[in-house]
Amino acid sequence: LLFHIPSVAFLQAGLSATWWRIHGCGNTFSNPYQSFSGPYYNGDGSTIQCLWTIHSYDSSPIVLTLDYLNLDCTHEYVHVYDGNVYQSALLGNICSGWSWIFTSYTGTMTVLLHRESYRAGSGFFAYYNIAGNLGTHTFLFPTAKYL
């Protein structure tokens, strides 16, 4: 679904609109395990939202670890949902810290990154495993550009 909104929009009662600049980030995963990271943000004050969705085909639990969050907690955050974004239980609303662990039991987990500040840098590094595939895996951590 694509809407074209001119530079001047008139909103009437009952109509609301929210939009974000598409930043080329986010993805959908169904691999047994995977790593991903938030994109580098230049701190220009623009709004970006990135959405990562993880699916397990047989509704197995999904275990997500978010390492190294370093966001401006006033204007930037990561939301983790036990299912689809905005339609499911919010497992966490976080902006800083190390080794946050979340588990989804619905077979779907969604990670939403929201940024709109004047602070440059990366957002986070994350990896997940789908239960039954909880063996040891080697992940490459981001370079200094992302830390």
User: If one looks up domain 27-133 in CATH, what number appears?
Assistant: 2.60.120.290
Residue pair 55/88 in contact by the 8 Å Cβ criterion: no
In this structure, what token pair is assigned to residue 38? 């938030």
Give the pLDDT confidence score for residue 133 in this predicted structure. 59
Q: Dihedral of the CA atoms 106, 142, 122, 23 (nearest 10)?
A: -70
Q: What is the pLDDT of residue 72?
A: 86
Mean residue pLDDT across the chain? 80
Q: 79 with 114: CB under 8 angstroms? A: yes
For the chain, domain boundaries: 27-133
Residue 44 and residue 123 in contact, taking contact as beta carbons nearer than 8 Å: no
What's the confidence (pLDDT) of residue 57?
A: 87
Residues of the chain with pLDDT under 50: 1-12, 15-22, 136-147
Give residue 87's Cα distance to chain centre. 15
pLDDT at 23: 52
Spatial CA neighbour of 95 closest among 67, 70, 125: 70
Q: What is the per-residue pLDDT for 132? A: 72
Task: Determine the pLDDT at residue 46.
Answer: 93
Provide the pLDDT for residue 67: 87
Residue matched to tokens 């077979």: 107
Beta-bridge partners for 102: 64
pLDDT of the residue at 8: 42
